[in-house]
Amino acid sequence: MNGAESNGIPNGEMTTSTPGLQRESTRYRKLWRYSVLLTSIVALMPLIVMMGVNNLQYRRTTQSEMRYDLSRMVSDTKRSLEFVIRERVSALQLVISDNNTSDLRDDEALARVLKHLKASFGGFVDLGLIDDDGLQRHYVGPYNLKGTNYSEEVWFHEVMLRGVNVSNVFLGHRHFPHFVISVKRELESGQFVILRGTIDMEMLTYQIAIRNRQGADDAFVVDHDGILQTQSQSHGDLLDPCSLPVPPFSPEIEVIDQPHNGGHLLVGYSYIEQSPFILMAVRTYDDHFTDWLRAHSDLIGFFVGSVILIIIVVFWSSSFLVRQIRASDERRAKMLHNIEYTNKMATIGRLAASVAHEINNPLAIINEKAGLLKDLAEHAEDHPYRDKSIASVDSIIQSVERCSAVTHRLLGFTRRMEPGHEMIDLRILLQEVVGFLGKEAAHRNIEIQYHFPDDLPTVECDRGWLQQIFLNLVNNAFGAVERGGQIALSVERQNHAYVAVRVRDSGSGISEENLQHIFEPFFSTKGQFGTGLGLSITYGLVQKLGGEIKVESREGEGSTFVVLIPIKAVATME
């Protein structure tokens, strides 16, 4: 019984599925998606850009540091290798230049020289003296290589031309990896001899191992043909072709990017002077993002937490805003609908008033003619049907009076809207209001009870406003009760200033949840059959009269509306 509607029916949305409702629902879903998408982009873009810039800066910094560390490692190892090779070349040159040829041709003397070289420099395996026809005349070492002919070897011809040769690593007659250093001495006779020392390649591996390896994942030596001169961890075995291409010659230390097996390598290299060796150091930095994640775990946690929080807030705010927009649109549509309904009802009211006014004229004529017929029948004593005619005329006059009462009540509701002051008997006014619904009460077998005390004072008020107030309340009561129900109207003096009017019904009652909203505009429990304006208008009229309206209700026990009406009208009823 709230908002001029019956009580006890939850105020829910219409469940009828129509194309219009489906289009509206689709429109709001699309609005929600756009809101979530755009808000998420605006909110998350700064974080994403920040993370991207941070990652880019970290990558650039990491690459720069890696290049520097790799270059430093290659530089240190290059100097070490060049020093070791130059040192042994110098040692052999010193031996061949400071000793007589006859001494070098003495195997015992040559063995003493080898012993001193091993003790002083290390890495020497054996020594051999080769004459100008390429035949190794004298040899000291663990192998039987005396008499070996090297005249067809490339290194022999290179020593003849340049005086010094450092070979690449090979197996040779010894069947183990080694390289040799050969130096030449010109004799006074125009002939020459070559002192050839075998160096264990472990010396190269050792020199690489003792260098700072922090800047490289792998470091090794290759020759100009790309053959590995030392063992590599990832790019091949000793004396196998390296899986990386031979880098281009450069007198300086270089660091280059090298694609490899779908990955990306950073390669630092340097050509070792006075040797066929190329030092290479390799570092992979495809895992820089993983390193960045490990190094910035706190930042990543903040980023992930911020993203989750932003998404939650975006979803909640977008849903809230769309719900507010939808509720506002629904209120607007309902308001427009109710304005149309109110205009329609106003038009019907004006039409009803006009019809009532027009009916009054023929009713007055009928009443006048009926009175004339009655007078004629009363004076015509010899009329054969005198009594029957008088009774029929009285029935006509009673029907006319009944129609006049109905039209006068209707005109009383519609004739004016300006408030006025007059003395009103509430008992008579309530009976007039119920009279409008008398036929419905009889048809539905609804019992109307009145409780009016004899000493009830009249009130000074506006009749039209009181009629509208109690018509809304009685109409609500009729809508709340079932067939055979009861409606009770009572009036009693509350105190010296107010009269209390109670309208009680035996309907289904009002839920506690709806009880808080029944006086709100457009709140209805009748769905599409109610406007939600009845009780709101009633509440406003009671306030303008200076009174008060309250409701007492429990579900399943009916409802009672209590209206306090001031006995003396307020100064103005605006």
Q: Stretch 109-115: mean pLDDT, rounded?
A: 92
pLDDT tens-digit series, residues 276-319: 999 999 988 665 556 666 767 777 788 888 889 989 998 999 88
Nearest C-alpha neighbor of 563 from the set 466, 484, 439:
466
329 — pLDDT class (breaks 50, 70, 90): confident
Q: Which amino acid is at 193?
A: V
Burial tier of 252 (Cβ tally within 10 Å: 0-12, 13-18, 19+) = exposed
Is the distance from CB of 476 to CB of 519 less than 8 angstroms? Answer: no
Q: Stretch 367-395: mean pLDDT, rounded?
A: 76
Which pair of tokens denotes residue 551?
Answer: 């409701």
Tally Cβ neighbours within 10 Å of residue 279.
Answer: 29
> What is the rounded distance in angstroms from the CA atom of residue 70 to the CA atom of residue 327?
67
DSSP letter assigned to residue 248: P
pLDDT computed for residue 292 by the predictor:
61
Q: Stretch 62-84: mean pLDDT, rounded?
A: 88
Q: 164 phi and psi, to 5 degrees?
A: -140, 140
267 — pLDDT class (breaks 50, 70, 90): very high
165 — pLDDT class (breaks 50, 70, 90): very high
> Can you list the domains of the chain with their CATH numbers?
62-290 (3.30.450.20), 418-574 (3.30.565.10)
* Contacts with 219 (C-beta within 8 Å, 6 or more apart), sequence order: 73, 77, 208, 211, 213, 279, 280, 281, 282
pLDDT above 60 for 14: no
Which pair of tokens denotes residue 376?
Answer: 């004629």
Averaged pLDDT of the chain: 81
DSSP letter assigned to residue 126: E
> What is the rounded distance in angstroms from the CA atom of residue 250 to the CA atom of residue 271?
7
pLDDT computed for residue 471 by the predictor:
85
Specify the 3-state DSSP secondary structure of 550: strand
C-alpha distance from residue 135 to each of 15, 24, 152, 356 (Å): 110, 104, 10, 148
490 against 370, higher pLDDT = 490
Is the distance from CB of 283 to CB of 216 less than 8 angstroms? Answer: yes
pLDDT computed for residue 7 by the predictor:
40
What percent of the chain is modeled with pLDDT above 90? 24
Range of lowest pLDDT (145-159, 348-362, 544-558):
348-362
216 — pLDDT class (breaks 50, 70, 90): confident
Q: Stretch 553-566: mean pLDDT, rounded?
A: 87
pLDDT computed for residue 344 by the predictor:
65
pLDDT computed for residue 18 by the predictor:
53
pLDDT tens-digit series, residues 113-156: 999 999 998 889 999 999 999 999 999 998 888 989 999 988 89
Q: Which amino acid is at 360?
A: N
Nearest C-alpha neighbor of 140 from the set 74, 202, 195, 63:
195
pLDDT tens-digit series, residues 24-42: 778 888 889 888 898 888 8
Is the distance from CB of 457 to CB of 481 less than 8 angstroms? Answer: no
Specify the 3-state DSSP secondary structure of 47: helix
pLDDT tens-digit series, residues 489-531: 999 988 888 999 999 998 888 877 777 777 776 666 665 555 5
Is the distance from CB of 277 to CB of 249 less than 8 angstroms? Answer: no
Specify the 3-state DSSP secondary structure of 294: helix
215 — pLDDT class (breaks 50, 70, 90): low
pLDDT tens-digit series, residues 396-438: 887 777 677 667 656 665 555 455 678 888 888 888 888 877 7
Report the range out of 45-54, 263-272, 285-294, 295-304 with the highest average pLDDT.
Answer: 263-272
